[in-house]
Structure 1
């Protein structure tokens, strides 16, 4: 049963309905009514779901890699290990990007629409965050999206309670002295301004942030230029590839035509050889008969 459903969710979406009917009918014929019902109830996957299903069939390491990353993230969040969470989050982005590209390669989709790419990306991220989605990889029916945190959220930490100090016993006060001359009200203290050290620290922070922003902008611009150049190279290579395919198709047509003509010529040559052989035999017999008459 599992094998039949796995096979069913491995076919292309446009072939799904026909294959589902074939498998359900086969199950009925062998008397397995439960399997027939389950197969008949299987829903045709969306294109995004089929792309992800195709990925886990083409690459047996995809699902385990997603599961390992999910386990690591859950552990890091549970331990509130900030540096490890950041490292694993960066690895998550890299892995999802890599698997999205591999998924479309496996599906044979060279230029997927942005919406389809987003659905596949969201589904792979959901497989990391949600064990239920991960368990259905290979037999997904639709694109998945994970909006909650689940086990990835920060652990709830109860605040440490502080005991309320007991009230102290009143201390006897001395008898009031004779009233003295009223003191002049003290002038309110002026708030202290930022220290020189604070100013230096703030200036240093601004300088470092400025340098980092400049470096990030430069890296961004360089990456954009490299991406644009690679897009140009890919477009050129694709056009050349298409031209080569056209030339190959034309060459194959020429080969087929020449082969057909060769076969026709060989048949004609064979027929001519048979005719020549028969004519030679007839000539030999005629000459032999004449020689007998002359003798």
Structure 2
């Protein structure tokens, strides 16, 4: 790796999210003799949670990421020759793939002690989708140096300015880093020098962590309120439907009683009809007999 800043960035963006800022500042101080390099290190921005999750995925499972990018490239090559039905099917498959890989990335983040909200998961999936739709987004993702999530329409209008830590990130591939062994001593460590401003920086890092935790809490509370409203609406709808069912059952019982009464009345009416028909027949017979007697006179 020829560029020392890229090498340092590759190490920094592989760190747990909470360790980034103090490690970056310590490294900038360590390399203060090289002012240009120190300034470059100091200028490295902390990744958003979603970008950090994607960077983690790229380093933990680069083969899976390469597969996603290869599928995206194949789809882009084939897109012009596909009919509408095929495009819909490929779009469905692409969504299934990005959703599956997002689930894997969230699991990896959870193993690192980072909880991802649904909002963060949506940004991770949008970033993977952008990487499948846009070649530049694919290179940005593969660099493992994302600082923000990506979003693309597939129309070539993606703006990557500020999305990666360094302009040279495009074309760079992050170093694969398997999950560390349970023994903390086996975890890759950056060498830092004693820092006289450590306490102040630790407080700043703590403030940053607190602000991030508040942001996560706010997002979680927002999701909780939304789900609670959904539950309340469905509970109200359940009560309404149950009330309608009770009314219908009451109406059915009432109609069944009415049906029994009508059946009884129908039986009586049919009996009366039979008697009336018999009386009519008898009256006709009597009339015929009378007519015959008159004709004989």
TM-score (norm 2): 0.46
TM-score (norm 1): 0.46
Using CA pairs under 8 Å that are at least 6 residues apart, name the structure with larger relative contact order, 1 or 2: 2
Whichever of the two has the greater Rg, that structure is: 1
